[in-house]
Structure 1
Amino acid sequence: EMRSYLKRKFYAADNYSEITVAPLGRSSEFSEIFHVFLGSKEKHFDLYVYTKEDGIYAVRVLAQTAIIEAIVSEYEKFNEAQKREFEQRTDADIINLKLILAPDKELMEFGKQNLAAFEKIYELYAGGESERAKAEIKSLHLSHAETSGKRFMLLIGGITDNSVGFLRVQDEADLPQMSPSEFIMIEKIAPNWYLFKTT
């Protein structure tokens, strides 16, 4: 059904060399939630498809990325001197912007590679050492950390409420439910740690 939907809609499945569809989870409202990856040399989409018994209910993607994509695209056209000047003049963190745009599979790998650093940041915040934690966050090219109830989040970034980051909970029961209106995807990378996107 999803492949047929893609052929009818904007995403035009025939333009992509890699298409994968994998279950992402369930929620109290939806019978299944799927992760659909569309990839080619030029572009990629990570889509989150919400289904009910009678078919597809909603399709979501990290929104409002066009400005970030434009900045990264222009930056890639610069020579090395221009790149240095741009970074000094704007204080932009291009690695951070690229992480925001990265495919989920790359973000999952980034998360797995940096789990020890994530835990260190979590422990620093828990111990009241927020300045040291902020330095660690910056070294990983992340934006900031925040807490919400029993959830600890390391934000990569995004535009307004369209964000991507890593979420830590001690108990899986404290995870938010996925929905088309807030946490559009949550995927486990290790015990207590998850990749997430919001809208």
Structure 2
Amino acid sequence: MKYLLVLLLPWLTGALLAPPTLPPLQIAEQFVAPTGWPEMQDYLCCEVAGQAKKQTLGQQIPQQQNRRCELIGQDSATAVVAVELRDPTSRRDFYLHFRHDSTGWKLGAIRSLAMTHLGPPMVALLTGLPPAEVANYNRKHPDASHAFTVGNLRLWTSADADIATHFRRHRTDFQKLLRRVQAGKFFAPTLPGPNEPAAEQAANADPAVHALLRRLFLSRVTRRAPACGSCLAFVIGGKTNSSVGLLYQPEAGSLPTMSPNGLIVLRPLGEGWYLYKTS
């Protein structure tokens, strides 16, 4: 028995000292809470472990902001939790990407839609134009009117919940747009190939498609934006490789996988529609 205890002692000591395993949602809630978290480093890895040295993300967020965490997706190896920050005047989202290793779940990356800070000043500038300058703007931009540009900029910089509300409010028009794109057979049934740019140009130039895109404050339809060749992406906007829009894919098994270096979030909206963001 004495020798058995000697053999078991290192294992027992390690088991007692090892931090308890926590699910991604609980780690996220601890990490964005306004109070500190002494055990934080036990649940971080990769780039986040180098970024969060002394403070949690929650300690760096203004105290008055409400924080809501939602598990968006999880499999055996990865998970994504969306975090909404809200106060009386603003609402914004970011996404926590987790990976699972031999010791449990670890937070590895934090992502959000880039460059959205450019939107509000542009909206303020455009909405401050006098009527004569608005008319002049419309003459210079016949393909994207003043009203469309303001609406598109506002939607691009909106919180996820507001984009989802926009989709639900205009679901009928979104379905009309989808049917028109499908009926036009602009895109080949195979995955995107050399002719894809021409097919995309033809789809967006179609008068019925163009009118619905503008009515819904969408910039274009494509199959290339979310790295899912079989999906239709109705792009709201974005800068460089960071974009936001609505994705249509009725086959769940054909959806792209969320990752911190590609599709940073994919929120289901029902009937094959999703809100997506890339980075």
User: Normalising by the residue count of structure 2, what TM-score does the alignment of the two structures yield?
Assistant: 0.63
Compute the displacement of 1:164 (Å): 0.6
Counterpart contact for 2:92–2:158, Cα < 8 Å: no
Partner of residue 181, structure 1: 261
Alignment partners' CA distance in 1, 2:252 and 2:216: 25
1:127 to 159, 179, 183: 183
Runs of 4 or more, structure 1, over 4 Å off, are 89-92
Within the alignment, does 1:137 sit opposite 2:186 as a pair? no
Q: Deviations over 1:135-185 (max 9, x none)?
A: 111111110101242101111111121111000012001111111111101
Deviation at 1:66, TM superposition (A): 2.5
CA shift, 1:28, in A, is 6.0
CA contact (8 A) 1:169 1:175 kept: yes
1:82 Cα deviation (Å)? 7.4
Range with greater deviation from structure 2 (64-73 or 84-93): 84-93
Deviations 1:92-142, CA, capped at 9 Å, x for gaps: 410100000111111111112222222221221122274111211111111
Task: Please give the alpha-carbon distance, in whole angstroms, between the structure 2 residues aligned to 1:94 and 1:54.
Answer: 42
- 1:24 pairs with 62, 65, 72, which one? 72
**2:257 alignment partner, SS class:** coil
**CA separation in 1, counterparts of 2:136 and 2:90?**
24
State which drifts further: 121-130 or 108-117.
Answer: 121-130
User: How many Å apart are 1:191 and its aligned residue?
Assistant: 1.4
Partner of 2:85: 38
1:73-92 mapped onto 2 (5 Å cutoff) = 73-76=124-127, 78=128, 81=131, 84=134, 87-88=137-138, 91-92=145-146
Higher helix proportion, which one? 2
Q: 1:123 and 1:7 mapped to 2: Cα distance?
A: 44
- Matched residue of 2:217: which SS? coil
> Who is 1:105 aligned against?
161
1:94 matched to 2:145? The reply is no
Partner of 1:156: 236
Q: Cα–Cα, structure 1 residues 35 and 86, in superposed 2: closer, same or farther, change >3 Å?
A: farther
RMSD: 2.3
Contact 1:27 1:177 in 2 (8 A): no
Equivalent residue number for residue 61 of structure 1: 112
Change (3 A) 1:188 1:54: closer
Counterpart residue type for residue 166 of structure 2: F
- Output the CA distance in 1 between the equivalents of 2:131 and 2:210: 29
Secondary structure of the structure 1 residue equivalent to 2:223: strand
**Normalization by structure 1: what TM-score?**
0.86
Asked if the contact 1:13/1:38 (under 8 Å) is kept, the reply is no
The structure, 1 or 2, with the larger RCO (C-alpha pairs under 8 Å, 6+ apart) is: 1
Aligned length: 194
Residue aligned with 2:96, SS: strand
List runs of 5+ in structure 1 lacking aligned partners: none
Tell me which of 115, 127, 133 is aligned to 2:171.
115
Identity of aligned residues (%): 23
How has the CA–CA distance of structure 1 residues 83 and 41 changed in structure 2, closer, same or farther, with 3 Å as cutoff? farther
Change in Cα spacing, 1:68 to 1:28, as seen in structure 2 (3 Å) is farther
Higher relative strand content: 1
